[in-house]
Amino acid sequence: MSDYRSEIKNIFSKFNTQEEFEYTSCTGTNWAKGIPASRREIISPVDNVPIGKIYLADIKSYHQVVSKAESAFKQWQLIPAPKRGEVIRQIGNAFRENKEDLAKIISLEAGKILQESLGEVQEVIDICDFAAGLSRQLYGLTIQSERSSHRMMEQWHPLGIVGIISAFNFPVAVWSWNAIIGAVCGNVSIWKPSEKTPYTAIFAHKIIEKTLKLNNVPEGVFNLVIGDYTIGSEMSNDPKIALVSATGSTAMGKKVAQNVAARLGKSLLELSGNNAIILTEHANLDMAMRSVVFGAVGTCGQRCTSTRRLIVHEDIYDEVKTRLVEVYKRIKPNNPFLEGTILGPLIDKEAVSMFNTNILQSIQEGGRLLVGGGLSKELPGNYVYAAIIEAHNSHESVQNETFAPILYLLRYDGGIENAIEIQNGVKQGLSSSIFTENFKQAELFIASTGSDCGIANVNLGTSGAEIGGAFGGEKETGGGRESGSDAWKNYMRRQTCTINYGNEMPLAQGITFEM
């Protein structure tokens, strides 16, 4: 067994951080203490042993952070974007230097296998590189005016404070999508991490501290508030938060959206997925198997992009089923720090009970459990056996997202349109994919009548998107787009400017208005 607990101890002392962490918020480099009454124990899903105790912020300390953020915004927006980009470039390097340490904290706290935790920190580094380049590319359009001696253009200004509510499953990457891109745009951010993964957030802040000091970044550009749902709810109701970016369940997202809409604020939502891979009769099955298993088993099925449904053509159904069951029989859940582990633990006991309930419900609805299910008796954490269930798309258990390694095997017959109908026949619309060597099937899948998801892949799985594309989905996934492409526009307000450099006062639409 790897000596992960002593490695983690070394990381805590390297960053001069106590396991009992008394601070509830951080404005840049200044940490504010909480009160012991708010203490909460954080248990590692790896071994069900506490990591330490954290203190939760109250509403008053949240508002103190907001006022620091407000004054920081006044200064930060005046710094030229490429100079802000330079700070972000250095922040990226700080994450590069501390990649292994932060990854180990993620694995201990979120239970991800070390390879995936390293991948998550890499995602932060990539976002920093992307954002540094972006800082010189926050382009607006110039538009031809219908009036002579007039110039029209669009420019983009920062919004102000971006509130970030992030989930346990990507405890730092999703923060970086919002905070880092938001920062090059000239915004400041307040991060409320998941209560299940506060240490990842604490260490992320510790990692950037030196760079913030070195560059005299105003206190309050990057802020952290460790708190429960009351902080998230205060944020969504707070008119001082220009944009609330929330990642989590559809139920949570609906509350946030309604609160933010009631004050006509902006929200950016990345909510539940119910992602499917279609295997047509023309699929390369060797390629598909790897993607299906990574998509369904990776992060213990707890990615928004995890593969929940496999829609298989009847001609290859039996072969796919046999091959997958064989592979699943060999997958044993194990400690995420051990090399070779591909299935780590679920985040907590509640997740285990949801995993069990979902399987039971599926069986009651007519589903057939082919392999897996149940809790490992050999290991002390929340280790379950990844399951495959033969089911029908109309089953409630299939329709509702469960964050767990359960793969529903669904059969289709006839043409590709039948598979697409099943694929689209859920409330969520995040990620989707098809495996086919037939270009017509591939094109139909990504045509406007094809997949209705925000992400549609051909011959690769549903999870593991690159940062360069816009990330997000439709329907109950919430409609938001984060990360790459032009998602930066969500963090800025558009201003249309018309400048008259002539001596006449012509009106648009040819209106005469003589006085």
Exactly one of 270, 401, 476, 482 is catalytic; name it.
Answer: 270
Smallest CA-to-CA distance from 138 within 218, 84, 174 is with 84
Residue 492's Cβ-side half-sphere holds a number of Cα atoms within 13 Å equal to 22
- Total number of residues binding ligand UN1 (CB under 6 A)? 11
Residue pair 480/245 in contact by the 8 Å Cβ criterion: yes
The yes or no reply on residue 463 touching ligand UN1 (CB under 6 A) is yes
Q: CA-CA-CA-CA torsion for 248, 223, 188, 192, nearest 10 degrees?
A: 10
Task: Using CB under 6 A, pick the residue from 169, 194, 259, 432 that binds ligand UN1.
Answer: 169
Q: Known catalytic residue: 304? A: yes
Name the one range near ligand UN1 by CB under 6 A: 190-198, 336-344, 461-469, 489-497: 461-469
Please tell me whether residue 305 binds ligand UN1 under the rule CB under 6 A: yes
| Residue 188 contacts residue 162 (beta carbons within 8 Å) | yes
Dihedral sign for Cα atoms in the order 434, 308, 270, 209? negative
304 contacts ligand UN1 (rule: CB under 6 A): yes
- Choose the stretch contacting ligand UN1; rule: CB under 6 A; options: 110-118, 168-176, 201-209, 347-355: 168-176
Q: Is 303 in the site for ligand UN1 (CB under 6 A)?
A: yes
Q: Which of 21, 31, 55, 170 binds ligand UN1 (CB under 6 A)?
A: 170
Known catalytic residue at 270? yes
Question: By CB under 6 A, which span of 90-98, 301-309, 338-346, 351-359 interacts with ligand UN1?
Answer: 301-309
With CA atoms as reference, report the closest residue to 95 among 219, 188, 210. 210
Instruction: Please say whether the beta carbons of 82 and 135 come within 8 A.
Output: yes
Q: Which amino acid is at 147?
A: R
Residue type, 9: K
Binding to ligand UN1 (CB under 6 A) within 213-272 occurs at: 247
Q: Which stretch binds ligand UN1 (CB under 6 A): 16-24, 63-71, 183-191, 303-311?
A: 303-311
Under rule CB under 6 A, which residues in 360-389 are in contact with ligand UN1? none
Q: Which of residues 17-76 bind ligand UN1 (CB under 6 A)?
A: none
Q: Per CB under 6 A, does 465 bind ligand UN1?
A: yes
The span from the CA of 133 to the CA of 1, in Å, is 42
- The catalytic residue among 26, 128, 300, 304 is 304
Q: Could you please report the per-residue DSSP string of 116-149?
A: HHHHHHHHHHHHHHHHHHHTT-----EE--SSTT
> Where in the sequence numbering do the catalytic residues fall?
270, 304
- Contact residues for ligand UN1 (CB under 6 A)? 123, 169-170, 174, 247, 303-305, 463-465
